[in-house]
Structure 1
Amino acid sequence: MSMQDYHSRLSDPASRKFETFSYLPAMSNDEIRKQVEYLVKKGLNPAIEHTEPQYLMDSYWYMWKLPMFGETDVDKVLAECEACRKANPDNHVRLIGYDNFSQSQGASMVIYRGKTV
């Protein structure tokens, strides 16, 4: 068995891969809900970030409001994700789960893909 090259290139914005789930088809609303449920169940603090597709390889993404420290209501998290998407319809939106104990990201995934350049 050989490894597959995904042909992701900086010169071709449409080919760029970002985060683990970008190698899979876009997540459905039900799949996004399951990811939020997982974050909450694990005690991670949800946060939402977004960026323009042409800058997705940069280390800086814009934070959507403050992290939702202690939030356990899945519907509230999903509502904020959707609000970010509506306010920034062309941007990639990612969901992050911050871990209080390790003081780092315990999970990070792009849940909505913006328009490619």
Structure 2
Amino acid sequence: MTQVQDYASRLSTPESRKMGTFSYLPPMDDAQIRAQVAWIVQHGWNPAIEHTEPDFARGTYWYMWKLPMFGESDVDAILAELKACHEANPGHHVRLIGYDNFTQSQGANMVVYRGAAV
């Protein structure tokens, strides 16, 4: 049996906290983020953007940035909204959600911008 890797994620160390599957991987570059947004669009999922202060990221409530982008298929428009949310809330975590209409749930959820932990 192979050795399972432990990730040193602790409540006492805010910068170590993980948020979703992608947070266990190295940070994505712009091209990789674009590919993820394109994947959400290709699946017909509705993008939505949320943000919160790093201290409250573990809670279930994040602030919604505008309304969900129902039917949006322009990857550049989605990326521009992510950037606008980040610029308006520079210290916050900003995440992109892809809502799947068929299952009526989140099909994708990833933190695109990470705010500084306090």
| TM-score bracket for this pair, using the shorter chain length | over 0.9
- The aligned residue for residue 62 of structure 1 is 63
- 8 A Cα contact 1:46 1:68, kept in partner: yes
Unmatched runs of 5 consecutive residues or more in structure 1: none
* 1:4 Cα deviation after fit: 1.2
The separation in 2 between residues aligned to 1:106 and 1:5, in whole angstroms, is 26
Q: Count the aligned residue pairs.
A: 117
The separation in 2 between residues aligned to 1:87 and 1:27, in whole angstroms, is 21
Corresponding letter in the other structure for 1:102: T
* 1:11 Cα deviation after fit: 1.6
Q: 3-state SS of the aligned residue for 1:63? A: strand
Corresponding letter in the other structure for 1:15: S
* 1:21 Cα deviation after fit: 0.7
Q: Is residue 2:19 matched to residue 1:46? A: no
TM-score of the aligned structures, taking structure 2 as reference length = 0.95
RMSD: 0.8
Corresponding letter in the other structure for 1:67: P
The separation in 1 between residues aligned to 2:55 and 2:26, in whole angstroms, is 20
- The aligned residue for residue 114 of structure 2 is 113
The separation in 2 between residues aligned to 1:36 and 1:14, in whole angstroms, is 25
- The aligned residue for residue 5 of structure 1 is 6
Deviation by residue 1:57-95 (Cα, 9 ceiling, x = unmatched): 111111100100000011110110000010011111111
The separation in 1 between residues aligned to 2:116 and 2:31, in whole angstroms, is 22
Q: Is residue 2:69 matched to residue 1:71? A: no
- The aligned residue for residue 82 of structure 1 is 83
Corresponding letter in the other structure for 1:42: H
- 8 A Cα contact 1:94 1:112, kept in partner: yes
- The aligned residue for residue 95 of structure 1 is 96
Q: Percentage identity across aligned positions?
A: 66
Q: 3-state SS of the aligned residue for 1:10? A: coil
The separation in 2 between residues aligned to 1:100 and 1:83, in whole angstroms, is 26
- The aligned residue for residue 33 of structure 2 is 32
Structure 1: 4+ residue segments shifted above 2 A = none
